[in-house]
Chain A
Amino acid sequence: MNTTLILQQFLNGLAIGSVYAIFALGYTLVFSILRVINFAHGAIFTLGAYFTYMLLGARFGFNGVFANLALPFSLPFPLALLVGALLSGLVGVVVERLAFRPLRTRGADPLLTLVSSLGVAVALVNLIQYLVGAEIYTYPPRVLGSLPAAVNFGTSTLPVPVRTVQIIIFAVSMVIVVLLTYLINGTKIGKALQAVSEDATTASLLGIDTDRLILFTFFLSGFLGGVAGTLVGLSVSINGPYFGISYGLKGLAVIVLGGLGDIPGAVLAGFLIGLVESFVPAQYVAYKDAVAFALLFAMLLFRPQGLLGRAVVQKV
């Protein structure tokens, strides 16, 4: 493997890793507050990609209720990404209302939310299929305007071309990570989030409106899922209503690797998995999907507290 290829793979790894990171942040935010996993997150990821596709003014295919329909207007990509992600955030709020709040108010076993959120995910994925069919959707070719397809990171004699899309993905993800870090550490609502994740009962005794905060967390989580879905859709394509499932699973590997509920850990683990995957040798590329899970399995056995975590003493 020569230097050019290594550099190229490294940059690809950073791009895909940054998508894993922001997607996994959506899981981890919910986990840090509620100690449960939202299985509908993968479905929201898918939905986000479709929202952006629709807002770009692109036409749907021949199947489903929305066959051959398109919006009468078309938004520029940055705006479509933002509005698509906001809509995904709203879906996150709906998921909380339908699958999480009813169980929480009844004081049911938190385990049940795995199944109720799965039910919502099944409904969402099949709703997508019902509305727009199961075909592959590719974002319109001119979506990035007049930007070149690739940028050369090397010299003219030793070119290291990297797709512009990858650079955009990396940049968008980094902006989101920075904003989120500020939101959590620098604002009042972020402090409240930290307080609830530390101890929900005490936080509510101190006058923090836990229910509203949970709703906000789900909005944020859905927003992140929507952005991640759009970025993957932009980079590859929307591979049918089920394309969120494999990312949903990888996201689980990422958050465990980072330590469940650990925000910097999730970002680090996202990059780690992205990079390791992009350096899988070509002859083993079919096993690429197993890498994240092998790491997850090993991590759980040897260091269950996550990359950055500290061991917690089991209390009786």
Chain B
Amino acid sequence: MNSFLLISMILAAMLALSLYLPLMAGQLSLASPGFYALGGYIAAVMSTKYFVVTGPFPVLYLLAEMAAAGAACGVLALVVGIPALRLRGIYLALATIAFVEILRVLSLNLEITGGAVGIFGIPQPFSDRGSYLWIAIPLLLLSMGFIYRLERIRTGRAFAAIREDELAAAAMGISPTFNKVLAFMLGAILAGVVGALSAHVLNTWNARQGTFDSSINYLAYVLIGGSRTFVGPVVGGMALTALPELLRALADVGGLPVWLAEFLRNGRLIIFGVLIALGTVFFPQGMVTPELLARLFGRRLRRAEQVASTQPVDHGAQRR
């Protein structure tokens, strides 16, 4: 497998997580591509205009750009999120689509973003693309670990409570606005950081990065992967990114009829679309569900649950 595909898969997994974060608090936001594009522009402008160095680009600068992109996206998310998160469901989704489109048109026309041409020759810290894995893999593990912990602390529980029933959560003293904006910001920060890294990986950045199509692609990653556990978006992002390439590779397998190989090569996105539609129909819960995880890894977890569920019964028996 080539390393570029592997990096793309990891980036897709993180972008899916950036959509999953607001979804943890029940908010369907499609704003990730906007923050992704912004993060990429921040890295592209910083590295081509301000961090001009001779020789290989220092990794430390790259990390600094990722941090700057995350911070900028977090602030923008705060500004956009406070008014926008008053909206619910499909209205929020549409408002975030509008946000992405406004950013896209701006980046097409501003001078600093290079207009329609975009920014070229973003400096490379490594001599080969594969070395980006040394940043991408830890970043993915870090964000997965972060979300794993988040789901188990007070804030994550508050998100879950709002997702289940906002009114009830508010009645319990959980501030819906605070938590919704926080979840939205976390997603935006992650998307911005990924954008900054992605700009270096791709070597060029333009207004085609982060469009409306990508919004829906990320949503497909999350919903087909499974939106009830953070493992779902990771699996979905990786699988759906690899799928078109897999179909292409399949076409090169010998012994296929000529028309079929030709169709696999040029019509692979048709198959991709059909598979997305079928995937939603046949796996409405997504590929990875909490139940599946429990069955695969959760022997310890299940035993703990059994203990927990037997105890109340014992109490009842005593009372009787």
Contact = CB atoms under 8 A, between A and B. Distances in A.
Contact of A252 (B97, B102, B109): B97
A297 B280 contact: no
Given A37-B90, A114-B216, A249-B212, A122 B273 contact: yes
Contacts of B277: 98-99, 116-117, 119-120, 123
A29 interface: no
Contact of B284 (A99, A108, A126, A260): A108
Interface string A263-298: 000000000000000000000001101100110110
Interface stretch (B39-47, B122-130, B219-227): B219-227
A182 interface: no
Interface in B272-300: 272-281, 284
B280 A119 contact: yes
B148 to A, nearest CB: 24
A304 B212 contact: no
A102 B91 CA distance: 25
B237 to A, nearest CB: 14
Interface stretch (B137-145, B172-180, B262-270, B308-316): B262-270
Interface in B242-279: 263, 266-267, 269-279
Interface in B87-115: 87, 90-91, 93-95, 97-99, 101-102, 105-106, 108-109
Interface in B139-163: none
Contacts of A256: 91, 94
Contact of A297 (B86, B99, B266): B99
Interface string A103-128: 10010110111111111111111110
B167 interface: yes
B177 to A, nearest CB: 14
A109 B216 contact: no
Contacts of B86: 301
Contact of B109 (A37, A287, A293): A287
Nearest to A285: B109
Given A103-B284, A115-B224, A120 B273 contact: yes
Contacts of B281: 99, 102-103, 106, 116
Nearest to A291: B105
A300 B90 CA distance: 11
Contact of A119 (B98, B102, B274): B274
Contacts of B6: none
B55 interface: no
A111 B163 CA distance: 14
B91 A304 contact: yes
B282 to A, nearest CB: 8
A151 interface: no
A316 interface: yes
A111 B219 CA distance: 10
Interface residues of A, number: 48
B298 to A, nearest CB: 24
Contacts of B274: 119-120, 123
A116 B270 CA distance: 13
B265 to A, nearest CB: 11
B105 A287 contact: yes
Q: Which of A98, A122, A296 has the most chain B CB within a 10 Å cutoff?
A: A122
Contacts of B56: none
B305 interface: no
Contacts of A293: 97-99, 101-102, 105
B98 A296 contact: yes
A245 B93 CA distance: 17
A262 to B, nearest CB: 14
B84 A115 contact: no
A282 B276 CA distance: 42
Contact of B275 (A114, A119, A301): A119
B213 interface: yes
Given A103-B284, A111-B28, A116-B280, A290 B101 contact: yes
A99 B266 CA distance: 24
Scoring A116, A252, A256 by chain B CB atoms within 10 A of each residue's CB, the highest score goes to: A116
Contacts of A45: none
Contacts of A36: 90
A153 B175 CA distance: 60
A35 B212 CA distance: 21
Contacts of A35: 90
A253 interface: yes
Contacts of A121: 273
A115 B225 CA distance: 12
Interface string A302-316: 001000000000001
Contacts of B91: 256, 260, 300, 304
B94 A112 contact: no
A39 interface: yes
A37 B269 CA distance: 22
Contacts of B263: 130
A99 B213 CA distance: 18
23 contacts: A37-B90, A99-B277, A111-B28, A115-B224, A116-B280, A116-B281, A117-B277, A118-B219, A119-B276, A122-B269, A123-B270, A123-B271, A126-B267, A126-B269, A126-B270, A130-B263, A252-B94, A286-B105, A287-B105, A290-B105, A293-B99, A304-B87, A304-B91
Given A256-B94, A301-B86, 11 more contacts: A99-B280, A114-B93, A114-B216, A118-B276, A119-B275, A120-B274, A126-B269, A245-B213, A286-B105, A286-B109, A301-B87
